[in-house]
Amino acid sequence: MTTVLHANPRQFISTDFTKQIVRRALRYLQSGFAIHLRGPAGTGKTTLAMHLAGLVGRPMVLIYGDEDLRSSQLVGSNSGYSRKKVVDNYIHSVLKVEDDLRQSWTDSRLTLAAKEGFTLIYDEFNRSRPEVNNVLLSALEEKLIVLPPDSSQTEYVRVHPLFRAIFTSNPDEYAGVHPTQDALLDRMITINIGEADVETEKQILVNRVGLDRTQALKLINLIRGYRRQVECSKASSLRACLLIGKICHEHEIPVSGKHEDFRDLCFDVLISRYGNGEPESELGLAKLLDQIP
């Protein structure tokens, strides 16, 4: 059974940075085009996709890209059998029995969304093998989904005019990511999502975690400074900010380099996430912590 979701607008933080992306993306969706949000992990692509789906105003269906995903998990498959047995004894001396055994077809998420005009969110779609995503080509261009011969349905499904699709992906150099075929990229509009500005990260920490603005800013500057120091550009600082900020808030740990618990927390989270395993990375973090009052 496929679960249909509805967006929660309270989860989205609206700043000048996010408004500008939303304005562009929503314009493309309203004109009927699929959009592709591409950027490093932790930049809020999934949250942004769900916010956009909420603005479209239709129920949403969510798919997560996966190496083991099969085409049948997008389109549908035969999931069992239905049996119809008719006994005709109209003439008492004649017994007629008709036994009809048929396979039962179940639509999967892409087909459901296309039929009903829902919004499809395909999160990290390039973690799925390219051949699995080939079914999307006709869905986005010809507005048809071709069903397999054994579907016991019609040969194809027409895509509802209100169907919309939002894709997210991580950069190609990430582990477990497949290169996306050009034909699929050509059928969507790609928006590159970079790291949020300081004001956006600060608003997220204040609203979601409960830190005050001063503590939020100190934490953001610490993590950004450490990432610059170790020359890390692969991941965003937002997830680390949220993780450390949540623990600090819930356990009343002050954002201060003089507090032992805060220092331990930063070492546990940041060294494994951004450090390169060299002693210099730990020494560099210790120096940055010493500068936080």
In sequence order, the 6+-apart residues with CB closer than 8 A to the CB of 269 are 240, 243, 244
Please write the tens of the pLDDT for every residue from 98-129: 555 555 557 788 999 999 999 999 999 999 99
Query: Mean pLDDT in the chain?
Result: 86
Domain of 246, in residue numbers: 198-290
Q: Is 218 found in the same domain as 86?
A: no
Same domain for 114 and 248, yes or no, is: no
Region 213-242: mean pLDDT is 90
Backbone dihedral region for residue 124 (phi beyond 0: left; psi -120 to 50: alpha; all else: beta): left
Q: 3 in a domain, yes or no? A: no
Rg of the chain taking only CA atoms, in angstroms: 25
Rounded Cα distance between 271 and 284, Å, is 10
User: CB of 121 within 8 A of CB of 53?
Assistant: yes
- Asked if 62 and 114 sit in the same domain, the reply is yes
Q: Which two tokens stand for residue 253?
A: 């740990």
In this structure, the answer to whether residues 236 and 279 fall within a common structural domain is yes
Last residue of a domain, which of 174, 192, 210?
A: 192
Does residue 15 register a pLDDT over 60?
yes
Residue 45 lies in a domain: yes
**Domain end position, chosen among 163, 192, 221:** 192
**Shared domain check, 186 and 90:** no
pLDDT recorded at residue 177: 87
Which pLDDT does position 140 carry in this prediction? 95
Same-domain pairing of 60 and 126? yes
Dist CA 207 CA 44 (whole Å): 15
Distance CA 79, CA 153 (A): 13
**Confidence (pLDDT) at 277:** 67
Query: Residue 25 and residue 28: Cα distance in Å, rounded?
Result: 5
Verify that 122 and 152 share a domain, yes or no. yes
In a domain, 155, yes or no: yes
Asked if the structure places residue 224 within a domain, the reply is yes
pLDDT digits (tens, 9 = 90+) for 204-220: 999 999 999 999 999 99
Same domain, 63 and 128: yes
**Is 83 found in the same domain as 154?**
no
What pLDDT, on the 0 to 100 scale, is given for residue 92?
A: 59
User: Are residues 118 and 23 both part of a single domain?
Assistant: yes
Is-above-0.95 flag for pTM? Answer: no
What pLDDT score was predicted for residue 134? 92
Q: Is 129 among the domain residues?
A: yes
Instruction: Say yes or no: 153 and 202 in one domain.
Output: no
Q: Write down which residue in 165, 192, 219 finishes a domain.
A: 192
Going by pLDDT thresholds of 50, 70 and 90, the confidence category of residue 1 is very low
Is 235 in contact with 40 (CB distance < 8 Å)?
yes
Which domain CATH number covers 135? 3.40.50.300
| pLDDT band per the 50, 70, 90 thresholds, residue 74 | confident
Reply yes or no on whether the pLDDT at 10 is more than 60.
no
User: How much is the pLDDT for 84?
Assistant: 59
29 and 101: one domain? no
pLDDT band at 85 (very low <50, low <70, confident <90, very high): low
Region 56-70: what's the mean pLDDT? Answer: 92
- Residue 227 vs residue 277, higher pLDDT: 227
For the chain, how many structural domains are there in total?
Answer: 3
